[in-house]
Amino acid sequence: MRETHGRHCSLRIASLFGKRCDGPHTVVPAHTDGVQKGMSTKTSDLFVVGACFTCHQILDGVDYRALIARCDDPRRALEVERRIRAALVETQSIHVRDGLIVIPGATLI
């Protein structure tokens, strides 16, 4: 998923934790939490988002459920979830546009 490197951060959750996103030079693919993710197991590359160093640390550096539990405000926890879903849609849309994800016979809007 080298194609994610150097793009802007699509995750954008750093500000929810009082931090700032880093520049595009730090963006790498980050695997989101999912059913397949577990001890030493990452989710499929279909479920990566472009994340700057800071956002990637927030997402990967701690247990995801603990991250949500740390949100003292339920609205912030919901916003984290919303941004992760939005980043997934944004990243997948870019990958479809760039021909990295191809679905034969499908019309994607």
Structural domain boundaries in the chain:
2-97
Residue ranges in the chain assigned as alpha helix (H): 53-60, 64-70, 74-97
Residue ranges in 7-73 assigned as alpha helix (H): 53-60, 64-70
The encoded tokens of residue 29 equal 């693919």
- 25-57 pLDDT, tens digit per residue, is 999 988 887 655 555 666 777 888 999 999 998
Cα(44)–Cα(31) distance, rounded to whole angstroms? 8
| Number of neighbours of residue 51 by Cβ within 10 angstroms | 31
Cα(57)–Cα(30) distance, rounded to whole angstroms? 9
Is the pLDDT assigned to residue 5 strictly greater than 90? no
pTM above 0.85, yes or no: no
